Structure 1
Amino acid sequence: MATIEECRAALEKLSENMQGAGGDVREAAAMDRSVSCRVTDLDVTFVGRLTGGRIEVDDTLQGPPPQKAQIRLTLSGDDLVALVDGGLNFAQAWASGRVKLEAGLRDLFRLRKLL
């Protein structure tokens, strides 16, 4: 089982990958939205913002977040690490229910370029 530190490192790596990307990925990451990443097996939620083409994690909360973020990702710690490392295909994980992504319709259309 992935640790909180490994999950935080995976989010940092994802953020670096997004910031260094070009084209459609860079455009999709150029939003300014509140984000949360709920890691179910650790019962923690990373909260922050997607801004300037990167994810800035502001806090790690025990349990679900008190406020609903504009972009919400829910998955296990192992799946988060595997997703960022390229060992897990997002579309397959989402279709099987291993990963849950919630956002407004307009944001989902933009986020699909990241996936």
Structure 2
Amino acid sequence: MATIEECRSALDRLSDNLTRADGSVRGAAALDRSLTCHVTDLDVTFTGRLSGGRILVLDQVAGPPPERAGIRLAMTGDDLVALVDGELDFAKAWASGRVRLEAGFRDLLRLRSLL
């Protein structure tokens, strides 16, 4: 099972990957929205923003997200690490329910290029 530190590191790597992206991925990441990532097996939520093409993790709280963010992710720590490391396909994980992504309809349309 992934640790909290490994999950935080995975989010930092994902942010770095987004800053180096180009084309439609860079456009999708250019949103300015609040963001939460609930790591279900550790029952911890990372809160922050997707802004300027990167993820800014601002806080870590115990339990589910304290507020409803514009973009909401939920998954196990192992799945988060595997997604960022390229070992788990996001679209398949989302379709099978291993990863939950919730956002407004327009944001989902923009974020689909990240899938």
Q: TM-score range by the shorter chain?
A: over 0.9
In 1, the alpha carbon distance for the partners of 2:70 and 2:89 equals 23
Partner of 1:49: 49
In 2, the alpha carbon distance for the partners of 1:54 and 1:109 equals 18
Which deviates more from structure 2 when the two are superposed, residues 38-47 or residues 89-98? 89-98
Partner of 2:33: 33
In 1, the alpha carbon distance for the partners of 2:10 and 2:98 equals 17
CA positional deviation for 1:95: 1.2
Partner of 1:64: 64
In 2, the alpha carbon distance for the partners of 1:52 and 1:20 equals 12
Partner of 1:22: 22
Is 1:113–2:106 an aligned residue pair? no
- The alignment yields a C-alpha RMSD, in angstroms, of 0.5
Partner of 1:86: 86
Give the alignment of 1:1-12 within 5 angstroms: 1-12=1-12
CA positional deviation for 1:88: 0.3
> Which runs of no fewer than 5 residues in structure 1 stay unpaired?
none
CA positional deviation for 1:92: 1.0
Identity of aligned residues (%): 70
Runs of 4+ more than 2 Å apart: none
Residue 50 of structure 1 aligns to a residue whose secondary structure is strand
Q: Write the letter of the residue equivalent to 1:37.
A: C
In 2, the alpha carbon distance for the partners of 1:66 and 1:7 equals 19
In 2, the alpha carbon distance for the partners of 1:63 and 1:107 equals 25
When normalised by structure 1's length, the TM-score is 0.98
CA positional deviation for 1:114: 1.3
